[in-house]
Structure 1
Amino acid sequence: MKSQEIRSKYLEFFQSKSHEIVASAPMVIKDDPTLMFTNAGMNQFKEYFLGNTVPKHNRVTDTQKCLRVSGKHNDLEEVGMDTYHHTMFEMLGNWSFGDYFKTEAIHFAWELLTEVFKVKKDLLYVSVFEGSSDNDNLGLDQEAYDLWKEIVPEERIIYGDKKDNFWEMGDQGPCGPCSEIHVDLRTEEEKAAVPGRDLVNADHPQVVEIWNLVFMEFNRKADGSLEKLPAQHVDTGMGFERLCMVLQDKKSNYDTDVFTPLISSIEKVTSSTYGESEKTDIAIRVVADHIRAVAFSIADGQLPSNTGAGYVIRRILRRAIRYGFTFLNIKEPFIYKLVATLSNQMGEAFPELKSQKSLIENVIREEEQSFLRTLDQGLILLEKIIDETEGEVVSGKKAFELFDTFGFPIDLTALILRERGYSLDENEFNAELKQQKDRSRAASVVTAGDWTVRGKEDVNPFVGYDLVESPVEITRYRKVDSKKDGQLFQIVLNKTPFYPEGGGQVGDKGFLLSLDAEKIGVIDTKKENNLIIHFTKTLPKDLSGLLMAKVDTTKRRRTEANHTATHLLHQALRHVLGIHVEQKGSMVNHDHLRFDFSHFSKLTSEELTKVEHFVNSRIQEQIKLNEQRDLTYDEAIGQGAIALFGEKYGDSVRAIKFGNSMELCGGTHVNNTAEIWYFKITSEGAVAAGIRRIEAITGDAVKRYFTEQTSVLSEISAELKNTNNPIKAIQNIQEENANLKKQLDVLLREKAKDLKGELQKEITEINGISFLAKKVDLDAGGIKDLAFQLGENNDNLFLLLGAENDGKALLSCFISKELVKQKNLDAGKVVRELGKYIQGGGGGQAFFATAGGKNPQGIAEALENAKSFLE
């Protein structure tokens, strides 16, 4: 059975059991501070488990794209080493929100596996929670055990401890016992030697878990205690790739048709063969897995970067590049070539792969080129570290600097060192790494207490589209301790005019005012699991009293102007550049706006002017806001609304229209474009391959900008003593400067010509080699010209020239090509070695290389030691 059919049959089965098929949520999470990525199928349903939202359907099913590379669920370093761990994977799931519980969940699972998919019953083992004697004091899950006993022989039921059979969402939140279904794919001989039940949860590659049935019935509180949830839920997750392995009778996930098309493409692109050697096989598995994770992330709007989720994606991609570089001997970009295969293979189930194919290819190709340059630079720096090492153990501290500062992989460092006969001080490296992690953890640790619920209903609607102040009541609150911000409080209101951060727009600020004039500042507003949370530094004295919630209208007004301007900017870019332009991200606050979009070249001055003119024309037209609320997603798209990839839309959406453009947007906006006043672009540049970024300002910020620019222009005119035509005055200065530079170049050439004759006379001979080491008064270009001129007159020249320019030291080494061949001399190694005297480094080719440093006083010593290379 092909993988596409397996996926369809799963969804159709649960649809026949009255489950609503829902779409996969984006893999990149934007509204949950506890997670970067969707790491389990239940993530998009957390608000239902927590009771914050009433689900539209009590039974749902889907296939969810997941990523596990950080935190509690971290499979990254296992990927490639075995045949069943992955970074990106599909989680097939079925859920019940307060509807059915253990009986139906267990019978559904058994029916699907054994009757629909025809998995042999004697291949399967099941596990149940055995209970715990710790503070939770939980007993055996007798109900699950009794249900399974009616279906399978008791010898196939295994007791599992809390680690294996009690599922928790995190340190706090919904949790409960679970039953896992495991499959034994070993040969009959292997089964006779060791019983399958002894290998369950023992990391055996042929005895693996395929389905986990979680029975949510508890809530884990901040103090570690458990309380019963008001309703019981079912949350199941089955690994799609492992299910395909079982149904296609394979011993490895990578042998299924989920991966074989990718592996075939990798073999073709890298001229390698899967199955020939373990090292090659691991590398191919790494690349096949990682291209999926990176491609899906980019399609969901998360580009590789140096921070947060983007850093994780960059790390995954670089791991794939490194394996290709080291074990497949590929020194040029190749991973981007696999995107077409992935798109063809999975584009039907996940259409974002097809629509974003060009973007994914371009981003990956540029990342590959960049990291390959990093590897080249790292190899030079590692060579320097080796040259400076006394003995056979390389400093772990220096290796960490290479890893941390330059991004050079530590395992590649260790591999090269082993090949060269050196070892790495791993303890010192790990100590440095631990210090870094401790610093990072200390800066980001946030501890949240339990919610204190006040018995009022958490309706929590946002009324801020129509109101900037409203009478409110507190429904729940809790204390939060942050290493970064200290002690804060989070407050939930029965309704709120405060906009929670989302869709690129920052959260509102303002205050809560009590009847006795107590004023509590709201410093931020966010949304978590569908609750709008207000951050304050203190709590009101009377938590039960009526409060007036007031938004900071000055900041809100400026933010709204900037947000509406991003919509007009999107229109303008599609009008000026073409309809290929798509929004790829935005940031809107009261100071300025930032807008990322797909486009493959730098905007010209003329194009930027046209974009500005388009937006300002819409402002001058005084277009009124056309807003439609509570549309279904299909209704909005049918009316021509633009949706953003990577955004998760709910059952109802809001559409914003200014003029001819209509977009789905939950943010706040001006009522009329005239309120923006004016739009001014302040910068335009690249973010990644095929992604450009425009930053701009509106309203009051533009007024300040014009005032500042007028002041600067006045100062320039005064300095130029030409207030009538400062541009002409600058052009005259530039022309005069160009003429002076030409004259200087002539003088320097004459000086170098004279210097050449003088230096020719100073050349001496050491062991049959013409040698000269001299300090000269020339810049880098002059030194290079002089070196090559002297080289033309000497077939066996070893030349080292030093110079001081602007307080910095320069060393340049020229070695005749004949000497490079005959004497195995290398100018790059020479300058790296002598560079330590000027506290610097450098490199180049074997016949010519340069080094720069910050210690000009060391030039003399470097020149003095040059002859040691010939002695």
Structure 2
Amino acid sequence: MKAKDIRTQFIDFFKSKGHTYIPSSPIVVKNDPTLMFTNAGMNQFKDYILGNETPKATRVANSQKCLRVSGKHNDLEEVGVDTYHHTMFEMLGNWSFGDYFKKEAIEWAWELLTEVYKLPKDRLYVSVFGGDAGDKLGKDMEAFQLWSQIVPESRILFGNKKDNFWEMGDTGPCGPCSEIHIDLRSDAERQQVEGYTLVNNDHPQVIEIWNLVFMQFNRLADGSLKELPAKHVDTGMGFERLVRAIQAKSSNYDSDIFTPFIQFIEKKSGKQYGLDEKVDIAMRVIVDHIRAISFSIADGQLPSNNKAGYVIRRILRRAVRYGYTFLGFHKPFLYELLPLLAETFGEIFPELAAQQDFVAKVIMEEEQSFLRTLDNGLRKLDQIKEELHQSGKSVVDGKIAFELYDTYGFPLDLTSLIARENGFSVDEKGFAAEMDIQKNRSRAAAEQETGDWVIVNAEEGVEFIGYDYLESQSRIVKYRQITDKKGDRFQIVLDRTPFYAESGGQVGDQGWLINGAETVKVLDTKKENDLIVHFVDKLPSQFDATFQSKVDAAKRKDSMNNHSATHLLHAALKQVLGDHVQQKGSLVNEELLRFDFSHFSKMTEEEIAQVESIVNAKIRENIALYEQRNVPIAEAKKQGATALFGEKYGDFVRLITFDPQFSVELCGGTHVSATGVIGLFKIVSESSIAAGVRRIEAITAKTAEDFVNSQLELIKEIGEMLKSPRDLKKSVETLVQERNELKKEIEFLHAQQAAAIKQQLIAAKEQRNGFNLIISQVKLPSAESLKKLAYELKNEVADVVVVLAAEIEGKPQIAVILQESLVDSLGLNAGQMVRDLAKEIQGGGGGQPFFATAGGKDLAGLPKVVQKAIEMFAGR
């Protein structure tokens, strides 16, 4: 049975049991401060489980894209080394929200596995929660008794809290779980060792395939458990493991999910899978990582140096590094897998096929960039090897190994491999210590303590009225305290709120909660799992009072101007650049708008002017806002609405239109009543932020007016300085021409000066035993002129060693150059020499064995450089 048929059978089975199929949510998480990536199928249903939202259906099923790169069994550096863990994986799942519970979940799981998929019953084991004294919980006898009706008791195991009690986090819904494991060993192996002894013991052939979680408790901040008013079922089955089991393969990578990709790499590399362990690992790393990289980019997360973007960049670079080291891929290659990936997964995850070209271009440019970094890292390793040889040491310092990992993407195993090949070892304990320091630093920056919600008005609902009103009468539903590096703050949930919560790039509203003489400042408003949360630095004195909720109208108005202008900008970019333009990110606040979009070349000045002109024309047309709420998603798409990849839309959406022929977008933000309100639009910058992604920053209304006025005032001041206000352009052209002529004259004088210095140095050279020596402190205008002088001396004096020290633009610099033949005959190395000399100027440097440079901080050390260089050659 093929993988896609296995997935289809899962969905069809649960549809037959009354479940609604819900498509996968994006792999990149938004509006949840606890997660960067979707790591389980239940993530998109958290609001149902937390009680923040009413389920659209009480029974649902789906196949969810997930990404895990940390936690139990998910160390990134281990993926590909074994054959059953992954970064990106699909999780098949079925859920019950207050509907069925343990009985149906257990019976249906067994029915699907044994009657539909025909997995051998005698190879399956199940585990149930064995109780925990700390939580004062006994064994889950209900689950045990249900299982014992369909499975021999000898195949039912009691597990500990670690394996058989699932928790969403430190606080929140949790409960006992039943895992289903399968023994995929040969019959001979099974006869020698009983399978139940290998369950949850990390055996590669005895693996968990399905986890049935029975959520019946809520974990409070004090660690205690409280029964949930409604019990839920949350199951998760690893698709890759299931396919492996049904197809009777020895590893996940031998199933038809991965074999087409391995065959592609075999053909491209000329190497065969299954003959060399290092080659096998490299191929497994690539076929695993390309899925994680591609789906994340398609869902809106571009590689970067920050947070989630850094995770994707690390995964991509690990794949490139394995291909480079073990498969001989020294040019970009990952992007070539995109057509096959889109063909394989396009039906279940159409967002990848729709953006195939864009994703491929992003990956290719990232590869090109990292391959350059990789080359730099290898040169850095050559330098380290040389330094170890010179010093007589045989161990690469842990800090240096960590620098190679952190800066150049060299994991410890690669550094250790290269070190061993050159007769060295690596201080692995020192490396681990540096890694721990970084992890602790990141953990400390991210740590936040969150208290339990204190319920004030349990019966109150939560309603957002901010599209129509900036003020309302509100009551507090609940509140809690949070503590992080900023100190103590509080979160408040109101029954009716005019405050817009940060979403879709638009920042959250600020304002006030007023009760008589008491005013509480609302610092920010955010969505946490679709719950509107107001951040305050103090709590009101009366929780049960009715408050006047008042939005800061001035800030909201400016944000509305910028948000509506963002829609106009998006439409104008499509007109000018083409339909390939897709929004990749945005920021809208009261000061500016920032719009990131897909485009693979720098915009010309003419294109920028054209976009600006279109937007301002639409502003002058004073197009009225046409807002439609609760539009069925299918109807919205029929109207031509622009939906953003990576966004999760519900069944009903809000439609924002400024002229049906110009701008129609799905949007939950706040907007002006007509485009004329915006007044003026001005682009202030256009730049690149990632491969294939450009960024425009722009301003509107009075901010734009002030900017234009400031530019006009600057032009006026320049005209006055040049004493030619009527023909400013001609005056500037004359000034530039005069400057260029003076620059040429200065360069000519510098060349004459350098030539004179060169002749003086040649005349003063010292003849030593088999070579000529020139050591001097000189005066030159630039680093380039210092390098040029060094090379000219090398070319004009036979068998020469040159050491030059110079003050350049107020800073000390050193250049060392020698004939290539002297590197071996005299045992000299310019790179090592310059590093030793740089210590005298509190600096550092490096280069090639025959030419190297250094810079520093201490000008007073230049004479010491000359003296030390002389001492280096004393007696030679």
Q: With structure 1 as the length reference, what TM-score do the two structures score?
A: 0.95
Instruction: Report if aligned partners of 2:762, 2:797 keep a CA contact under 8 Å in 1.
Output: no
| 1:147-178: CA deviation from partner (whole Å, max 9, x where unpaired) | 11111111111111111111111111111111
- In the alignment, which residue of structure 1 is the partner of 2:372? 373
Asked if structure 1 preserves the Cα contact closer than 8 Å seen for 2:791 and 2:817, the reply is: yes
Which residue is 1:801 aligned to? 804
The residue number in structure 2 matching 1:750 is 752
Give the structure 2 partner of residue 498 of structure 1: 499
CA–CA distance in structure 1, aligned partners of residues 454 and 796 of structure 2: 87
Partner of 1:143: 142
CA distance in 2, matches of 1:139, 1:558: 58
Counterpart selection for 2:485 from 483, 486, 492: 483
| Matching of residue 770 in structure 1 with residue 769 in structure 2 | no
Matches within 5 A, 1:260-271: 260-271=259-270
State how far apart, in whole Å, the 1-side matches of 2:330 and 2:826 are: 29
Amino acid at match of 1:696: A
Contact 1:559 1:589 in 2 (8 A): yes
Q: Distance in 1 between matches of 2:412 and 2:736?
A: 49
Specify the code of the residue in structure 1 equivalent to 2:496: K
Which residue matches 1:420?
A: 422
User: Which of residues 798, 811, 814 in structure 1 aligns to 2:817?
Assistant: 814
1:423-460 residue CA offsets vs partner (Å, 9 max, x unmatched):
44444444444344333333332111111123433521
Which residue identity is paired with 1:852? Answer: G
C-alpha distance in 2, partners of 1:351/1:255? 25
Residue identity matched to 1:141 = D
| Other-structure match for 2:858 | 855
Take 1:478 and 1:559, find their aligned partners in 2: how far apart are those partners?
Answer: 28
Distance 1:618 1:60 in 2: 45
**Quick one: distance in 2 between partners of 1:386 and 1:130?**
55
Say whether residues 1:645 and 2:645 are aligned partners: yes
Assess, with a 3 A threshold, how the Cα gap between structure 1 residues 267 and 841 changes in structure 2: closer, same or farther: farther
> For residues 114 and 250 of structure 1, what CA distance do their matches in structure 2 show?
18
Residue 748 of structure 1 and its aligned partner are, at CA, apart by 2.5
Could you say which residue in structure 2 is the equivalent of 1:97?
A: 97
Which residue of 1 is the match for residue 628 of structure 2? 628
Mapped contact 1:52–1:458 kept (Cα < 8 A): no
Single out whichever of 341-350 and 118-127 deviates more from structure 2.
341-350
Structure 1 counterpart of 2:665: 663
Distance 1:532 1:255 in 2: 46
| Equivalent residue letter for 1:679 | F
String of CA shifts for 1:268-319, please: whole Å, max 9, x gaps: 3333322222222222211221111111100000011111111111121222
Worse overlay, 251-260 or 765-774: 765-774
Asked if 2 retains the 8 angstrom alpha-carbon contact of 1:359 and 1:689, the reply is no
Could you tell me how far apart the structure 1 residues matched to 2:537 and 2:196 are? 54
* CA contact 2:402–2:431 (8 Å) conserved in 1: yes
| Alignment-mate amino acid for residue 304 of structure 2 | S
Are the structure 2 counterparts of residues 551 and 858 from structure 1 closer, same or farther at C-alpha, using a change threshold of 3 Å?
same
Is the CA contact 1:776–1:802 (under 8 Å) kept in the aligned structure 2? yes
Counterpart of 1:189? 188
User: What's the counterpart of residue 711 of structure 2?
Assistant: 709
| Structure 2 counterpart of 1:513 | 514
Change (3 A) 1:52 1:782: closer
| AA of the residue aligned to 2:473 | P
Q: Does 1:284 align with 2:283?
A: yes
Q: Distance in 2 between matches of 1:529 and 1:56?
A: 16
Secondary structure (helix, strand or coil) at the match of 1:556 reads helix
Task: Report how far residue 473 of structure 1 moved.
Answer: 1.3
SS at match of 1:771: strand
Q: Distance in 2 between matches of 1:784 and 1:646?
A: 51
CA distance in 2: counterparts of 1:181 and 1:740, whole angstroms: 82
Q: Write the distance in 1 (CA, Å) between the matches of 2:548 and 2:791.
A: 80
Judging changes above 3 Å, is the alpha-carbon distance between structure 1 residues 775 and 273 closer, same or farther for their aligned structure 2 residues?
A: farther
1-side partners of 2:395 and 2:230: how far apart? 60
**Runs of 5+ consecutive residues of structure 1 not aligned to the other structure:** none
Give per-residue Cα distances to partners, 1:674-711, cap 9 Å, x unaligned: 11111111110001111100001111211332343334
Write out aligned runs for 1:323-362 (5 A). Answer: 323-362=322-361
SS in 2 for 1:472: strand
What TM-score, normalized by structure 2, do the two folds share? 0.95
1: CA distance between counterparts of 2:719 and 2:640?
A: 51
Could you say what secondary structure the match of 1:42 adopts? Answer: helix
* Residue of structure 1 in register with 2:205 after alignment: 206
Per-residue Cα deviation, 1:610-632 (whole angstroms, up to 9, x for no partner): 11111111110001001111011
Alignment-derived partner of residue 20 in structure 1 = 20
How many aligned positions are there? 868
Deviations 1:368-396 (A, max 9, x none): 22223333333444555555565334443
| More deviation, 190-199/536-545 | 536-545
Is 1:583 aligned to residue 586 of structure 2?
no
Amino acid at match of 1:447: E
Aligned-pair CA distance for 1:786: 3.3
| 613-622 or 429-438: bigger deviation | 429-438
Q: 1:217 to 1:563 in 2, by over 3 A?
A: same
**Aligned partners of 1:132 and 1:68: how far apart in 2?**
27
Instruction: Give the unaligned 5+ runs of structure 2.
Output: none
1:396 and 2:398 equivalent? yes
Contact 2:73 2:85 in 1 (8 A): no
Rounded to whole Å, the distance in 1 between the matches of 2:727 and 2:327 is: 63
- The answer to whether structure 1 residue 697 and structure 2 residue 692 are counterparts is no
Matching residue's letter, 1:809: P
Shift of 1:776: 2.7
Q: Which moved more, 1:459-468 or 1:539-548?
A: 539-548
| SS class of match (1:25) | coil
Task: Determine the structure 2 residue equivalent to 1:540.
Answer: 540
| 1:84 aligned partner, one-letter code | Y
Deviation at 1:771, TM superposition (A): 2.9
How far apart are 1:18 and its partner, in Å? 1.2
- How far does residue 403 in structure 1 lie from its aligned partner after superposition? 4.6
Q: Distance in 1 between matches of 2:839 and 2:358?
A: 44
The range that moved more, 278-287 or 690-699, is 278-287
The answer to whether the Cα contact below 8 Å between 1:374 and 1:408 also exists between their aligned partners in 2 is no
Counterparts of 2:204 and 2:821 in 1: how far apart (Å)?
A: 57
Percent identity reads 57
Report the AA paired with residue 288 of structure 1: V
CA RMSD of aligned residues (A): 2.3
- In 1, the alpha carbon distance for the partners of 2:386 and 2:838 equals 12
Helix, strand or coil: the match of 1:811?
A: strand
C-alpha distance after superposition, 1:795-824 (max 9, x if no partner): 533333332211222333333344457667
3-state SS in 2 of match to 1:473:
strand
Amino acid at match of 2:240: E
- Amino acid in the other structure paired with 2:168: M
Name which of structure 1's ranges 323-332 and 240-249 shifts more when overlaid on structure 2. Answer: 323-332
For the residues of structure 2 that align with 1:387 and 1:757, how far apart are their CA atoms? Answer: 34
SS where residue 70 of structure 1 aligns?
Answer: coil
Judge conservation of contact 2:97–2:233 (CA < 8 Å) in 1: yes
Q: Alignment partner of 2:26: what SS?
A: coil
Note the alpha carbon deviations across 1:698-749, whole angstroms, 9 max, x for none. Answer: 1121133234333433443344344444443332222111111111222233
> CA contact under 8 A between 2:387 and 2:832: conserved in structure 1?
no
Asked whether 1:78 is paired with 2:78, we answer: yes
- Are the equivalent residues in 2 in contact too, given 1:171–1:220 (CA < 8 A)? yes
Residue range with higher mean Cα deviation, 800-809 or 373-382: 373-382
Mean alpha-carbon deviation: is it higher for 292-301 or for 321-330?
321-330
